[in-house]
Amino acid sequence: MSDVVIAFFVPTVVFLVVVAPLWILMHYRSKQRARGELSAEERQILETLAVRADRMAERIETLESILDAETPGWRGRLAANEYSRADS
């Protein structure tokens, strides 16, 4: 009887001490990645890109206002060129 108990006891202890903690750790790590949370570094990169995009939008608005002042019909010519390229 004691041999049977040892035969089941040893693998159970090994499973609970080694396999189960690793299994739980990997499970919750995959859950975190599945949620799509960003790391601190990724969040910083995203914030930097957002600031750059805002600056670029301001620059584009400034350039468009300059073009509107210096060349009033530039938007219409741009649209006409876009349509002529689509026909080609």
- Residue 73 confidence class, pLDDT cut points 50, 70, 90: confident
Q: What is the DSSP letter of 36?
A: T
30: amino acid identity, one letter: S
pLDDT of residue 65: 93
pTM, to two decimals = 0.49
Q: What is the pLDDT of residues 1-50, one digit of tens each?
A: 687 877 888 888 888 888 898 999 999 888 877 777 778 898 899 999 99
Q: What is the pLDDT of residues 52-72, one digit of tens each?
A: 999 999 999 999 999 999 988
Selection from 45, 46, 65 nearest residue 57 by Cα: 65
Cα 2 to its chain centre, rounded Å, is 56
> Which residues touch 46 (CB under 8 Å, ≥6 apart)?
38
State the Cα–Cα distance between residues 52 and 63, nearest whole angstrom.
Answer: 16
